């Protein structure tokens, strides 16, 4: 399929209001099919139809949770430049309470993973480079140190990670923070009512190779830049 044909197929998929609304909802984070169904009051069959059209157009994919294997999440195919060009991130993808909290002088973005040893650390370091909004990281079950491979991949890309800077999410978060769960386990452990984004980034520690950490870095920084872009005018201008 040519580039023009693929673009036409994507535009056709987005030409239906419900599918366009789903795409807006997914602009900044991954969501389970059940959450999408509740958000848009769609029956299971109708939701499955819309997701199938978007998936066949190459816009979305489903990924199995690394935590609860019974769960799956819907996410954009952000490694395709055509998808990133068509799905500009919008602050509308965030809950209003989260955006209002960030507009406070002490509102922060807090990146959370299970061990606070790799993905959340890389995300916080990348966030410091991309945005003036304060950011930090934490874990639901923090390790004693940052993973050496995370430190090395960060250094290769000009990021500094403190080897001893892990923290517990319960000691870090406060009202006004926007949480970004960068792993499935953390997302599934956090309280459902807590406003947050979810990025289903595969755990590089499970593979434990330089390439796995490099891939995690690439996925995280791409999402960090999209979030920073979405928040830049809406939040940073009020600080």
List the end-to-end C-alpha distance of the chain, in Å, as a whole number: 47
User: Percent of the chain having pLDDT more than 70?
Assistant: 92
Same domain, 174 and 59: no
Is there a single domain that holds both residue 15 and residue 75? yes
Residues 109-127, mean pLDDT to the nearest whole number: 97
Q: Which of 54, 88, 122 is the last residue of a domain?
A: 88
- How much of the chain, in percent, has pLDDT values that exceed 90? 77
Instruction: For residue 212, give the CATH number of its domain.
Output: 3.40.50.2300
Q: Tens digit of pLDDT for each residue in 159-211? A: 999 988 999 999 999 888 999 999 999 999 998 888 789 999 999 999 999 99
Q: Do 55 and 112 sit in the same domain of this protein?
A: no
* The pLDDT of residue 212: 97
Residue 128 sits in the same domain as residue 181: yes
CATH number of the domain at 31, please: 1.10.10.10
Q: Are 87 and 76 in contact (CB under 8 A)?
A: yes
DSSP reduced 3-state for 175: coil
At which of 32, 54, 88 does a domain end? Answer: 88
Q: Are residues 84 and 200 in the same domain?
A: no
134-149 tens-digit pLDDT: 999 999 999 999 999 9
Q: State whether 68 and 101 are in the same domain.
A: no
Which pLDDT score, from 0 to 100, does residue 104 have?
67
Q: How confident is the model over 49-76, as pLDDT tens digits?
A: 999 999 999 999 999 999 998 999 999 9
Range of the domain at 53: 3-88
Domain co-membership, 99 together with 213: yes
- Structural domains of the chain, count: 2
**Half-sphere exposure (CA, 13 Å, Cβ side) for 146?**
27
For residue 115, is pLDDT > 80?
Answer: yes
Do 121 and 234 have their domain in common? Answer: yes
Question: Rounded CA gap, 161 and 90, in Å?
Answer: 29
Is it the case that residue 220 has pLDDT exceeding 70?
A: yes
């Amino acid at each position: 399929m040519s580039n023009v044909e693929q673009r036409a197929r994507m535009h056709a998929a987005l030409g239906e209001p419900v599918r366009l609304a789903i795409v807006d909802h997914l602009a900044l984070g991954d969501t389970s099919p059940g959450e999408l169904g509740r958000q848009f009051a769609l029956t299971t069959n109708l939701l499955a139809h819309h997701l199938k059209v978007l998936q066949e157009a190459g816009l979305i994919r489903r990924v199995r949770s690394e935590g609860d294997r019974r769960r799956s999440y819907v996410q954009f195919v952000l490694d395709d430049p055509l998808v990133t060009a068509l799905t500009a991130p919008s602050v509308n993808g965030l809950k209003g309470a989260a955006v209002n909290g960030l507009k406070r002088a002490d509102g922060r973005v807090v990146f959370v993973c299970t061990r606070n040893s790799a993905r959340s650390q890389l995300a916080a370091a990348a966030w410091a480079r991309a945005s003036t909004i304060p950011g930090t990281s934490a874990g639901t079950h923090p390790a004693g140190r940052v993973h050496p491979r995370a430190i090395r991949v960060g250094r290769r890309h000009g990021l500094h990670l403190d080897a001893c800077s892990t923290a517990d999410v319960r000691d870090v978060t406060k009202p006004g923070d926007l949480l970004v769960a960068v792993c499935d386990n953390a997302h599934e452990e956090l309280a459902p009512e807590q406003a947050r984004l979810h990025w289903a980034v595969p755990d590089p520690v499970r593979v434990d190779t330089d390439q796995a950490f490099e891939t995690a870095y690439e996925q995280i920084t791409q999402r960090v830049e999209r979030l920073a872009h979405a928040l830049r005018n809406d939040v940073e201008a009020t600080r």
